[in-house]
Amino acid sequence: MRPMAKIISFTSGSIPANLVSLAYGSYVQSYYIDVLHGQPDWIGVAATIQAVYATLVYPFLGYLSDRTYSRWGQRVPFIMYGSVPLGVAFMLVWTPPVSAHQVLLFSLYFLLTAIFYDTMFNLTMVNWSALFPEMFRTPAERAMASAWKQMFGIIGLVGGLALPTLIAAKMGWPAMGVLFGIISILALLTTIPSMELKRRRAEQRAGRAHGQSVGLPVRQALKHTLVNKSFVTFIGMRFFVQFAFTMLTADLYYYAKYNLGLVDGQQSYLLLATLAVALPLVYVWGWLVPRIGASRAVVLAILLFGLALCSFNFTNTFSAALMAAFFLGVGLSGILVLTDILISDIIDEDQVRTGVRREGMFYGIHGLLVGLCTPAQAVVTTAVLVSTGYTNALGAHQPTSALFGFKMMITWIPLVALAVALLFFWRYPLHRKHVTRIQEQLRHISG
C-alpha cells in the first residue's frame, strides 16, 4: 500500500473513535436523566460503579495487547473482531427496554450496557491507537499521520458532539444509537487495509515481525509505566485537560437549554462553531509544533483553551455564546494534534530504557485514565445538579441557583482543571532537544 493511502486508511479510525465516545460522554447522562427522567443520584451511582470496574480491569488491556501475538502479529485481531461487538454495545446503551419508573431495573440496565460498551470500546480502540507509533516511526511520518488523524477526528467530533441532538430531534435517541453503531462498525473496518495483513502474516511465518519482543512481566511492566516521569506528568495533564473538555461538552446542554433558552438545533451550532475553527487550525499547529517543540505548544494550547472558557462568563445571548465557541476551537485544535506526538515520544524514550516497545501498556493506561473523565464528570455534574436545586420535571422552571450551577459547570470547574493540568505538565522532561537525542539513540539501536 502506498504511504499516503496507508495513512488515510489507518487514520480514518479516528471517526468512530470520536463519534461514539463523544456522543456517549456528552449526552448519555442527560439522556438518562433529562430525557428519560431517571433519578440523578441512581445514574450517578451506576457511573461510579463503572469507574471502579474500569480501574480494576483496564490497565491489563494494554498489557494483553503487548503480549498477544497472532498470525498477523500484535493488535490486529482485536480490531478485526472487536468492531461489530463495539457497535452493538453502543446501540444497546441508547435502547433501554424498561421505564425510568422502574428505578432499579432502569439504573441496572444503564450500568450493564455502559460496562459492555466501555469494555469493547477500550479493547478495540486501545489496540488501534497503539498501532500508531509502530506504523509511523519517523517524526515526518508521525507529523503527517497525526494531521490526517486529527482531520478525521474532527469529523468524528462533529458527529459525536453536534449531530446526536439533531438526529434525536428528527428520529429519536434510540435511532441515533443504532445509526452511530452501524457507522462505527463500517468505519473501523476501513482501517484494516492499512495494516497490510499479507505482509504481517509473511513476517510472522518468517519469525521476523517488526519490533516483536517477549515483553516485560505484568508487575514489572506496570512499575516501569507508573514510575515513568515523562508519562506521569503527561497523563496528569491529559486527564485534567480531558476532564475540562468533558465537563464543557456534557454540561453545555444544560447551559444552552436553560441559561440561553436554546432549542436542540441551536445547541448543536455552538459545538459546530468550535469544530469549524479547529479543523483548519490543525494544520497551523502542525506547522508550529516542529518550530517551538511539542511541550511548549501544549502549554500554549491549554492557555488559549482556558481563555476561551473565561469568555462564557460574559455570554447571555446565542450570538455571544457562538463567538465564545469559535474561540474554543483555537486551543482545542492544538490539544488534538499534540496528544499522539507526545505519547509516541514517551514510548520511544521507554524503549531506550527498557529495550522493548510497550505501546499497548501506555495507550491502555492512557485510555483508562482519560476514560475515567466521563464518570468523574458524572459525579461532579450530579453533585452540582443536586446541590443547586435542579429539577427534571417536565416544563419545570429552574431556580437561579441552578442557572448559576449550569454556568459554573462549563466555566469555573473546567478552568480549575486546566490549572491543575498545567501544574502536572510543569515537570514534563521531554523537551525538543531531549526528543532529538532519543531519536538518534533509536536510529543507532535499529542499526
| 36 touches 100 (CB < 8 A) | yes
The pLDDT of residue 211? 47
The pLDDT of residue 239? 95
The pLDDT of residue 122? 82
Assign 3-class secondary structure to 70-96.
Answer: ECCECCHHHHHHHHHHHHHHHHHHCCC
Closest C-alpha to 54, from 95, 131, 114: 114
Q: What is the pLDDT along the chain (447 residues), one digit of tens a residue?
A: 677 888 889 999 999 888 998 898 878 888 898 889 888 889 888 877 877 777 677 777 777 777 777 777 778 888 888 999 999 999 999 999 998 899 999 999 999 999 999 889 888 888 888 888 878 877 667 777 887 888 888 888 778 877 888 899 899 999 999 999 999 999 999 898 888 777 777 766 666 554 445 566 667 777 778 788 999 999 999 999 999 998 998 888 888 888 888 876 677 788 788 888 888 888 788 788 888 888 999 999 999 999 999 998 888 888 888 899 899 999 988 888 888 889 989 998 988 888 877 887 888 788 778 878 877 898 899 899 999 998 877 667 889 999 999 999 999 999 999 999 999 999 999 988 888 888 888 877 765
Tell me, yes or no, whether 4 lies in a domain.
Answer: no
Tell me, yes or no, whether 298 lies in a domain.
Answer: yes
The pLDDT of residue 247? 92
Tell me, yes or no, whether 362 lies in a domain.
Answer: yes
Tell me, yes or no, whether 364 lies in a domain.
Answer: yes
Tell me, yes or no, whether 447 lies in a domain.
Answer: no
Give CA–CA dist 162/182, Å, rounded. 18
The pLDDT of residue 2? 78
**Number of independent structural domains in the chain:** 1
Sign of CA dihedral 193, 199, 204, 207: negative
Integer-rounded Cα radius of gyration of the chain: 21
Residue 410: CATH number of its domain: 1.20.1250.20
The angle formed by the CA atoms of residues 343, 345 and 350, to the nearest 5 degrees, is: 95
| 12 touches 183 (CB < 8 A) | no
Tell me, yes or no, whether 318 lies in a domain.
Answer: yes
Closest C-alpha to 279, from 4, 5, 14: 14
The pLDDT of residue 94? 95
Tell me, yes or no, whether 3 lies in a domain.
Answer: no
Determine the structural domain holding residue 265 and report its residue range. 9-440
Tell me, yes or no, whether 446 lies in a domain.
Answer: no
